[in-house]
Structure 1
Amino acid sequence: MVVLTFLGRLLVIFALAMLGLGLWLWLSGADVTQQAGQLWYVLDRVSLNGAQVLVQRHLHLPWLWDSGILPLLRRPAWEAVLWLVIGGLATGGLLLVISRRRARRSSFR
């Protein structure tokens, strides 16, 4: 249960960080209507390449990049950030609900 609680909190923190990133991009004047991958490439192409290498070569999950991350990078930046926030909050919240300890009922009524 401790692991589920930790993962749930980590996902909620990740979702809030993505929300902060989206707000920062919008307020800084970045074109959030262009593709997320294009915007990431303009901001920091080394980290984009590093993320691809990490997923495909080091984690040995090329299918994750091709079928999970790449379609997200082809969406508009605002939509990609929105999906990450919604997914992180929903999954993290679900894990936190599942890992919650149930209160014991008292024998006194």
Structure 2
Amino acid sequence: MFAAEFESAKTDSRRRAPRAPVSLDARLGKAGRTLCKVVDISIHGAKLQTYSALKRGETIWLTLPEVGSIAADVMWADDFIGGCQFRKPIDADVFALLVEAQGGIVAG
């Protein structure tokens, strides 16, 4: 008979930074002509609901309140919902301002 103890790996999260549920009106495209809704945000990325289908691997321009236009890569997409990673993280103070304006709570 063989017996051994093991300790499972513990991971707090696969995310690099805290995220927060929000409901922010935003725009897609360099000219900002397409409306979308940001439903989740961190300093590194966001989850979007859109009126145009997103495609994994494409680079988009996302215009956020208090931030302006930011380049982001679509990391996953399911028709009109997708997650994007910002090419350059947004400032932590701006992130806090966006979340506080929504009355949101940052999740780890």
Smaller-chain TM-score range? Answer: under 0.3
Structure showing greater radius of gyration is: 1
Which has the larger helix fraction?
1
Bigger relative contact order, structure 1 or 2 (CA pairs below 8 A, ≥6 apart): 1
Q: Name the TM-score, length of structure 2 as normaliser.
A: 0.23
- The structure whose residues are more often strand, as a share, is 2
